[in-house]
Amino acid sequence: MTYKQNLFFIAQCLTVKFEKKNKKEVLLKLKNEKIDWDEITKISTNHLVFSALYWNLKEVKFLKYLPKDLVIYMKYINDINKERNTQIIIQVKEINELLLSNNITPIFLKGTANILEGLYDNISERMIGDIDFICSKKEYQKAVKILLENGYYSVAKENYRFPNEKHYPRLKKKNRIAAVEIHEELISEKYRNEFNYNLVHKNTLKLNNMNFLSYNHQAVLSITSSQIDDYGFYYKELALKNAYDIFLISKKTDIKKSISLYKNLKNPMNCFLACCFFVFGDIHTLDYTKTKKTEKYLSTFNFLVNNDIIRKFRYLLKFIKLAIHKRMSIIFKSITSKEHRVWLIKRISDKNWQKNKLKQIGLKK
């Protein structure tokens, strides 16, 4: 099986609990085709859906078609993730109670929020890195102060921040499993006039004294996190972790209608939805608006997943181009912005940064 075939097979497996057509096709492949389970494991792990793959196949009793040693390994990873997520849930509830007692209302975001609100059938499905939440600009600095006063500390070694970052540097606490990111913004600076706290806080989900984004806004955040913040739109790549979230959210709200309400974000989000529709197998809840831009994007995406060498080489070139663009942008901003200028001076004067750069170019061990 090619990379594309493996990717699409994994995507189909993630839908078998809901989609009869995909369930039937997956079963036929499991029975009749030689599947490269090493590649399936590698790709699903890279896309952070390995546990979700296990859970979906387990729910429809398809694990018996997998190699026994793989099933044992999948269960082992799944159990570890379930225990980790259990600890994260305890930590989130602790943070929520602490902030509420100080008159701060956090709105929890991303994977942590999805678990707590019950988007997944099992808490082990989602791989989670950090605990993310956003609060009002008025509450933001107070929230940082409260956590710092209650045992949290900054993971970052430097004592300066890049201007206009979405969130405060990651905070950790001894004997707590996850780092915390306190958001001031939801998205990169270019799109903040369209998607921000003032928009989302008016229509939140409330469950067990906790606040979450509405399903419409969850969809927007999940797509833009991948397309904008992780440059999926730029690279024309699909992150299955985010795509799986969108598939589940699409069972609860009309995503096509939700993204049509935006202006500058509409095309990147519509292109993501088009890829989801294509990869998951023409599922009607993932229907998208067909435009010339979207069809061109989808054509390029399909070409790249069909051509491994070209995709990898293109990614490398795009990565270098993006890195150069970022550095040039910082230099230009530092000319007109005092904040950026101060940050740049502190950055290049940072001894640790200098050492790391010398190591990267091979001038220091």
pLDDT score for 360: 63
CB-CB neighbours of 340 under 10 Å: 19
Could you list the pLDDT tens digit for every one of the 365 residues in the chain?
A: 899 999 999 999 999 999 999 999 999 999 988 999 999 999 999 999 999 999 999 999 999 999 999 999 999 999 999 999 999 999 999 999 999 999 999 999 999 999 999 999 999 999 998 999 999 999 999 999 999 999 999 887 777 677 778 888 999 999 999 999 999 999 988 999 999 999 999 899 999 999 999 999 999 999 999 999 999 999 999 999 999 999 999 999 999 999 999 999 999 999 999 999 999 999 999 999 999 999 999 999 999 999 999 999 999 999 999 989 988 888 888 888 888 887 777 778 777 766 766 666 565 66
Nearest of 162, 158, 133 to residue 147 by alpha carbon: 133
pLDDT score for 47: 95
The DSSP 8-state label assigned to residue 226 in this structure reads I
pLDDT score for 334: 85
Tokens 């980790």 identify what position?
84
pLDDT score for 246: 97
pLDDT score for 62: 96
pLDDT score for 342: 79
Q: Are 87 and 46 in contact (CB under 8 A)?
A: no
Tokens read off for 262: 């935006």
Sign of the CA dihedral running 39, 41, 46, 50 = positive
Sheet holding 152-154, edge to edge: 152-154, 171-173, 180-183, 131-134, 107-109, 210-213, 204-207
Non-local (6+) Cβ contacts of 346 within 8 A are 158, 160
With 0.85 as the threshold, say if the pTM is over it.
yes
Q: Are 187 and 166 in contact (CB under 8 A)?
A: yes
97: Cα separation from own chain's centroid: 26
Sign of the CA dihedral running 217, 298, 233, 110 = positive
Q: Are 34 and 9 in contact (CB under 8 A)?
A: no
